[in-house]
């Protein structure tokens, strides 16, 4: 049974430079027609030139990188199945396969009804693809399962058992057709994961709503989405209210209310209402595009268990051949040897494992979890220690105002909040959103200000009544603006000890007050940690830069085993390195820029949805929904996938060993062995698809 019905079974990159790539290819099951293949590649969008060296198995393609990249080009080439130029082109690959199947059925059922002189020519015609493929594999790759299949057919033909030869050809063709359908289905699962977005997007330009091509939308644009439309970007709601169906991204069927400050993801559908969105990720950087991109890239990498399965399958081929040879030497029965050669381990071992991985990654992607490869899935199942960052991970990251402390009698506590909110309302930062939200629930003075100045990673500045007002971090107010805060050090230190985040407000060169904010623990955090323990996790730790007392309070609340507090960014990576050296297999969950080294150094890194870009890049797994329970969901899914893979592994070995044993002692004819082997393999592949239901 073949792993590919295309002209090329695989492409291995040898050299890649801008606009040019050279691959070493492995011929597929179909006959390689150089002219037809090169013509088909030239017709692909973005391809400029093609060179193919059949003797060296080398393929060189020059292409336009603005149209597609090397990875996409390779995938499209592997998907090609051009008809040989000496034949009329066929409608489609599935139609071609069905035609070959019908011909094999007719030959299998009618061969013994034909006059004896015609039986051998017909059987040779039907089995020629099997024989040719076996000879090709023997000369290029040595002894493989395809060589065993060709030997089984040859023995049947030599012994004039034409029914057995044609039955074998039919079962191989049927198996190849079903395998290809299953493999194609697992590769194409992403097609129904997200609804396609329109090529035209409504944006607000200079106060006017205009429709522009999707390719022209940039970060910072204001995108308009109305009822029934698909959200085309990732971003934050600037204004308006709507109910958004996020089922395509989170699996949650109930529409979610969205208003100012809420995050929205591309690929979700606006069921009712109208919103204005500040575009934060566009094009290939949106969540929808990243799902397809991450999972597609992941399919090119093999996990440890995949490599082991492939190695075992190759190692067992000579043993099957030895068993067939031994059976013939002991009994002199060629039919018994042909029956043994029908049953090998290769196809089920090599195909079921990647299909199971693809299915599991599809299920994860649909649940809003990006798993960057089979290796990441495998490592997540192996992890015995989970380490969490605190802020934005176990806590919401949605700050709430707890204190408004004024240092100027001219302003009340409520005035201070309203003063800060008047300039912060134009800024989309968690601190700013929290202050604006707090101002809505109080009655304070109204402050008119001039144009707001945004100072990245520091705060905002403006003018009120001719005086400069600054709202932001201590560093911004004290060092950049030169405002003295030493007189209020005692009050500030007490707020810090309480684990609160401080927003400093300077007006006219003086510190007039601070607003204290505090994060809240996620409602799902405790349940998530309990689910992780139930899945086999032995230890759960907390790493944070926060004060030790606050960290211990959270640990006691959630039942965390050990706490490391008041850490610098490099400390987190050092702790993970030390624990790894002690034998721990660590899954680290974080979201900040300072978590990137820890995410990269862990056995498997998991980045939260609202994490920094570098955190998501460094992580092996990235969450697309702001839900800590997705960490437990990913862990459970990985354990389920690995359990399914190991079950299929044992089933493959058990079933094929039983078939081989029965064939070797003469209990199975070549026909029965072929039917049982191919039927078992197809059943195992179908079982592997269960991963998408996880």
Is residue 529 domain-shared with residue 511, that is, in the same domain?
A: no
Total domain count, the chain: 5
Q: Domain range holding 463?
A: 400-518
Look at residues 497, 518, 539 and tell me which one is the last residue of a structural domain: 518
At 694 the pLDDT is 45
Residue 421 maps to which CATH number? Answer: 3.40.1110.10
C-alpha 503/C-alpha 506 separation (Å) is 10
The angle formed by the CA atoms of residues 131, 136 and 141, to the nearest 5 degrees, is 130
pLDDT of 337 above 50 = yes
Is residue 452 domain-shared with residue 573, that is, in the same domain?
A: no
Residue 61 maps to which CATH number? Answer: 3.30.70.100
Q: Is residue 62 part of a domain?
A: yes
Identify which of 101-115, 324-338, 519-533, 591-605 has the greatest average pLDDT: 519-533
Is residue 501 domain-shared with residue 406, that is, in the same domain?
A: yes
Q: Is residue 479 part of a domain?
A: yes
Q: How many CA atoms lie within 13 A of 416 on its CB side?
A: 22
Q: Is residue 102 part of a domain?
A: yes
Size of the chain in residues: 694
Identify which of 77-91, 150-164, 169-183, 296-310 has the greatest average pLDDT: 150-164
Lowest mean pLDDT among 133-137, 174-178, 195-199, 465-469: 195-199
Q: Is residue 461 part of a domain?
A: yes
In degrees rounded to 5, what are phi and psi of residue 402?
Answer: -110, -30
Please state whether the predicted TM-score (pTM) of the whole model is above 0.85.
no
Look at residues 518, 535, 560 and tell me which one is the last residue of a structural domain: 518
Q: Is residue 311 part of a domain?
A: yes
What residues does 604 pair with on adjacent strands?
A: 587
Is residue 494 domain-shared with residue 531, that is, in the same domain?
A: no
Closest CA to 560 of 599, 533, 590: 533
Question: For residue 5, what pLDDT band results from cuts at 50, 70 and 90?
Answer: very low
Closest CA to 443 of 421, 414, 420: 414
How far is C-alpha 591 from the chain's CA centre?
Answer: 18
Residue 263 maps to which CATH number? Answer: 2.70.150.10
- Terminal Cα-to-Cα distance of the chain (whole angstroms): 28
How far is C-alpha 279 from the chain's CA centre?
Answer: 23
pLDDT in tens, 15-53: 777 788 888 787 765 556 677 788 778 778 788 888 877
Surface-to-core class of residue 43, CB atoms within 10 Å of its CB (0-12 exposed, 13-18 middle, 19+ buried) = exposed
C-alpha 72/C-alpha 47 separation (Å) is 12
C-alpha 641/C-alpha 303 separation (Å) is 13
Q: What would the DSSP string read from start to end of 69-91?
A: -HHHHHHHHHT--PPPTTSPPPS
Mean of pLDDT values over 579-604: 83
Is residue 204 domain-shared with residue 336, that is, in the same domain?
A: no
Is residue 50 domain-shared with residue 128, that is, in the same domain?
A: no
pLDDT of 392 above 80 = no
Give the residue numbers marked as catalytic: 389
In three-state secondary structure terms, 275 is strand
At 88 the pLDDT is 36
Is residue 182 domain-shared with residue 299, that is, in the same domain?
A: yes
- Interacting residues of 490 by C-beta distance below 8 A, sequence separation 6+: none
> What number of other Cβ atoms are within 10 A of residue 518's Cβ?
17
C-alpha 645/C-alpha 668 separation (Å) is 28
> What number of other Cβ atoms are within 10 A of residue 175's Cβ?
20
* Residue predicted with more confidence, 176 or 131: 131
Q: Are 12 and 30 in contact (CB under 8 A)?
A: no
Is residue 277 domain-shared with residue 345, that is, in the same domain?
A: no
Q: Which two tokens stand for residue 171?
A: 């079962």
Is residue 654 domain-shared with residue 549, that is, in the same domain?
A: no
C-alpha 280/C-alpha 405 separation (Å) is 34
Look at residues 518, 553, 574 and tell me which one is the last residue of a structural domain: 518
pLDDT of 165 above 60 = yes
Is residue 214 domain-shared with residue 256, that is, in the same domain?
A: yes
| pLDDT over 90 percentage in the chain | 18
At 306 the pLDDT is 63
Is residue 157 domain-shared with residue 303, that is, in the same domain?
A: yes
Q: How many CA atoms lie within 13 A of 96 on its CB side?
A: 16
Q: Is residue 633 part of a domain?
A: no
At 434 the pLDDT is 85
Is residue 410 domain-shared with residue 485, that is, in the same domain?
A: yes
Q: b/e map of 62-99 (b: 16 or more CB within 10 Å)?
A: ebeeeebebeebbebbbebbbbeeeeeeeeebeebbee
Q: Which two tokens stand for residue 271?
A: 């069921």
pLDDT in tens, 497-549: 777 888 999 999 999 999 998 888 888 999 999 999 999 999 999 988 777 77
Q: Is residue 426 part of a domain?
A: yes
Q: Is residue 565 part of a domain?
A: yes
Q: Are 172 and 673 in contact (CB under 8 A)?
A: no
């Amino acid at each position: 049974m073949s792993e590919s019905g295309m002209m090329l079974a695989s492409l291995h990159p040898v050299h890649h430079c801008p606009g040019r790539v050279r691959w070493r290819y492995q011929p597929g099951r179909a006959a390689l027609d150089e002219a037809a293949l090169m013509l088909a590649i030239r017709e692909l969008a973005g391809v400029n030139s093609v060179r193919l060296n059949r003797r060296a198995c080398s393929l060189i393609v020059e292409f336009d990188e603005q149209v597609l990249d090397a990875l996409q080009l390779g995938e499209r080439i592997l998907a090609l199945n051009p008809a040989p130029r000496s034949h009329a082109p066929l409608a489609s690959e599935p139609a071609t396969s069905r035609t070959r199947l019908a011909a094999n059925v007719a030959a299998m059922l009618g061969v013994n009804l034909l006059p004896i002189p015609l039986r051998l020519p017909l059987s040779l015609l039907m089995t020629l693809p099997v024989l040719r493929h076996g000879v090709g594999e023997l000369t290029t790759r040595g002894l493989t399962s395809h060589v065993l299949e060709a030997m089984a057919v040859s023995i049947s033909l030599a012994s004039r058992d034409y029914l057995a030869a044609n039955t074998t050809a039919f079962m191989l063709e049927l198996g190849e057709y079903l395998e290809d359908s299953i493999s194609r289905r697992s590769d194409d699962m992403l097609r129904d994961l997200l609804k396609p977005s329109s090529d035209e997007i409504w944006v607000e330009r200079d106060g006017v709503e205009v429709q522009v091509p999707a390719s022209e939308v940039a970060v910072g644009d204001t995108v308009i989405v109305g009822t029934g439309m698909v959200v085309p970007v990732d971003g934050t709601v600037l204004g308006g209210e709507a109910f958004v169906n996020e089922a395509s991204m989170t699996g949650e069927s109930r529409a979610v209310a969205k208003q100012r400050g809420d995050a929205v993801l591309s690929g979700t559908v606006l069921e009712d209402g109208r919103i204005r969105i500040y575009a934060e990720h566009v094009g290939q950087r949106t969540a929808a595009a990243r799902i397809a991109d991450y999972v597609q890239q992941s399919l090119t990498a093999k996990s440890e268990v995949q490599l082991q399965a492939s190695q075992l399958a190759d190692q067992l081929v000579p043993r099957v051949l030895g068993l067939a040879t031994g059976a013939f030497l002991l009994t002199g029965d060629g039919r018994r040897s042909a029956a043994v050669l029908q049953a090998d381990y290769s196809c089920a071992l090599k195909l079921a494992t990647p299909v199971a991985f693809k299915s599991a990654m599809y299920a994860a992607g649909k649940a809003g979890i990006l798993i960057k490869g089979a290796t990441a899935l495998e490592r997540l199942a192996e992890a015995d220690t989970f380490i969490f960052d605190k802020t934005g991970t176990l806590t919401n990251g949605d700050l709430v105002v707890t204190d408004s402390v004024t240092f100027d009698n001219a302003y009340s506590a409520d005035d201070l909040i309203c003063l800060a909110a008047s300039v912060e309302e134009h800024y989309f930062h968690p601190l700013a959103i929290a202050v604006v939200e707090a101002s809505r629930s109080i009655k304070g003075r109204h402050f008119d200000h001039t144009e707001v100045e945004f100072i990245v990673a520091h705060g905002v500045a403006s003018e009120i009544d001719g005086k400069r007002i600054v709202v932001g971090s201590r560093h911004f107010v004290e060092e950049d603006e030169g405002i003295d805060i030493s007189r209020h050090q005692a009050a500030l230190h007490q707020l810090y000890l309480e684990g609160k985040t401080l927003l400093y407000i300077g007006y006219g060169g003086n510190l007039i007050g601070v607003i204290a904010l505090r994060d809240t623990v996620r409602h799902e955090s405790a349940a998530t940690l309990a689910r992780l323990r139930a899945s086999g996790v032995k230890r759960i730790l907390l790493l944070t830069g926060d004060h030790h007392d606050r960290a211990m309070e959270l640990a006691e609340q959630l039942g965390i085993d050990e706490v490391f507090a008041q850490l610098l960014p490099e400390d987190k990576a050092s702790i993970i390195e030390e624990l790894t050296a002690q034998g721990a297999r660590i899954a680290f969950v974080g979201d900040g820029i300072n978590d990137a080294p820890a995410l990269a150094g862990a056995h498997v890194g998991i980045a939260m949805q609202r994490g920094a870009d570098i955190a998501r890049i460094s992580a092996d797994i990235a969450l697309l929904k702001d839900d800590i329970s997705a960490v437990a969901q990913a862990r459970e899914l990985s354990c389920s996938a690995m359990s399914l893979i190991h079950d299929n592994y044992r089933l493959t070995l058990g079933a094929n060993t039983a078939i081989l044993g029965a064939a070797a002692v003469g209990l199975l004819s070549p026909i029965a062995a072929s039917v049982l082997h191919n039927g078992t393999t197809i059943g195992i592949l179908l079982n592997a698809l269960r991963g998408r239901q996880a």
